[in-house]
Amino acid sequence: MPTQQSVVYKLEFSKTYEGLLRVRVTTDNHLECALAIYEDDRAFLRLVKHAGLPPENERSMERAVVLAFSPMSTGPFCEHLEVTQEQLTFLRLSMARQVHA
């Protein structure tokens, strides 16, 4: 069975004015872009735990979410992570507009 090819994506984590988690995904060449807004950041973190990501990618995403919600947050926190299209879909970040998770 062929495995899906991983691509390095830039994931940008921030908090909306309403206090919701916003995740923006782009490729280095900016040809692909997705934006998702999660009503519950803990729901997103649960998805991260079950997406089949390498442990270091899980930790990077968890840290970025925590930093985005930190009282000292001044802007988005970015991570460049290698993920498959299947993992992005599982995280509801594939061509997402708004996610009510």
Q: What does the domain layout of the chain look like in residue ranges?
A: 6-90
pLDDT at position 1 over 50: no
Strands 21-27 and 33-38 turn out to be: antiparallel
Q: Sign (positive/negative) of CA torsion 42, 90, 12, 63?
A: positive
pLDDT digits over 38-86, tens only?
999 999 999 999 999 999 999 999 999 998 888 876 778 888 888 888 8
pLDDT digits over 16-45, tens only?
888 899 999 887 666 667 888 999 999 999
Please give the share of the chain, as a percent, with pLDDT higher than 90: 33
Any idea what DSSP says for residue 3? P
Query: Residue 46 contacts by C-beta under 8 Å, 6 or more apart in sequence?
Result: none
**Global confidence as pTM:** 0.80
